């Protein structure tokens, strides 16, 4: 399939991104926040062009994960021409807790 896929951001993903951006700005400053945003936008760009380029999770083959930074993973699923961003999670978090939160949404 050619072209970019549609992007849908879940409320959970939007909330997690907003909280992370606030944290980065308040704790580390504008430059660190901007560096993260650059990395995040780069990942989104790749996902929109080729959503199957990142690996599936072990727990659910319909959910894919993209390492945005060593501390943050983006979880998403692909449905037809839609990419649904499910969440953005801290990689230092217990993987079972991450999985339980993804299943709760």
Q: With 70 as the cut, is the pLDDT of residue 95 above it? A: no
Q: With 60 as the cut, is the pLDDT of residue 1 above it? A: no
* pLDDT tens profile 6-46: 999 999 999 999 999 999 999 999 999 999 999 999 999 99
Q: Give the domain ranges of the chain.
A: 6-104
Using H for helix, E for strand and C for coil, what is the string for the chain?
Answer: CCCCCEEEECHHHHHHHHHHHHHHHHHHCHHHHHHHHHHHHHHHHHHHHCHHHCCECCCCCCEEEEEEECCEEEEEEEECCEEEEEEEEECCCCHHHHHHHHHHC
- Fold of the domain built from segment(s) 6-104: YaeB-like fold (3.30.2310)
pLDDT band at 91 (very low <50, low <70, confident <90, very high): confident
């Amino acid at each position: 399939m050619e072209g970019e896929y549609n992007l849908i951001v879940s409320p959970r993903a939007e909330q997690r991104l907003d909280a992370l951006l606030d944290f980065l700005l308040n704790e580390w400053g504008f430059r660190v926040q901007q560096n993260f945003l650059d990395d995040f936008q780069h990942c989104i760009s790749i996902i929109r062009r080729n959503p199957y380029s990142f690996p599936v999770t072990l727990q659910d083959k319909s959910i894919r994960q993209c390492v945005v930074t060593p501390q943050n993973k983006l979880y998403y699923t692909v449905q037809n021409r839609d990419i649904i961003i499910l969440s953005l999670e801290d990689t230092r978090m217990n993987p079972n807790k991450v999985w339980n939160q993804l299943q709760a949404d």
